[in-house]
Amino acid sequence: MGGERLVGRTQDIRQTILDHALDLCSEIGLEGLSFGALAKRVGMSKSGLYAHFDTKESLQSDVLDHAAARFIDSVAAPALKKPRGLPRMRDLYSRWLAWEGDEFTGGCPFFTASSEFDDRPGQVRNSLQRHLKDMLEMVSRVAETCIEERHFVSDLDTRQFAFEFYGALLSYHQFRRLMDSARADDMAREAFESLLYRSQA
């Protein structure tokens, strides 16, 4: 029993460390996430951190897994509870916008990690690629429910839909977070409404 409690506590500590690591990653990037910087943020010694993560690469990869779990909790899972078809699609987009714009002080950690790791083969890039594929396949699957509910035309290219859905979110990220555009929210909604309109029967 004592062993289980200890495992439980070790898991809690790990989650707390990963929460801090995710915030740090959102602010300074996944590459800037050193054991030293993280130890300072968490208020732990570096050797304490090494008890939870072997290498910087495995820490980075674990942070991405943690971000993906949070994306599921904040965006995917609530949206999947909405009725199939358009209501689910609208909820998904709206939650994803909030994720890009407000969930993190430094913006979406996947966006940050993408530009750092898109051309660096290895464990971190593989993890990032896997999570992004999951996220975009989910968009395609929700678009399929829209077809089944006859909200979208039957021959819609759902992967093309996901490409344009994601494009609007990425552009939003840039207009909102970098260019401080007052119209970013409006433009992101307009782009989405146009995408829905084109997809509808």
Q: Does 177 bind a copy of itself (CB under 8 A)?
A: yes
86-115 positions binding a copy of itself, by CB under 8 A: 105-107, 111-112, 114-115
Q: Does 164 bind a copy of itself (CB under 8 A)?
A: yes
Q: Which stretch binds a copy of itself (CB under 8 A): 12-20, 63-71, 117-125, 145-153?
A: 117-125
CB 107 within 8 A of CB 26: yes
Closest CA to 109 of 188, 15, 32: 32
What counts of helices (H) and strands (E) characterise the chain? 10, 0
- The CB-of-39 to a copy of itself minimum distance in angstroms stands at 20
Q: What are the Cα distances from residue 75, in Å, to 82, 94, 115, 142?
A: 12, 9, 22, 13
Q: Which residues contact 166 (CB under 8 A, 6 or more apart)?
A: 136, 139
Binding region for a copy of itself (CB under 8 A): 27-29, 31-32, 105-107, 111-112, 114-119, 125, 128-129, 132-133, 136, 157, 159-160, 163-164, 166-175, 177-180, 183, 187-188, 190-191, 194, 198
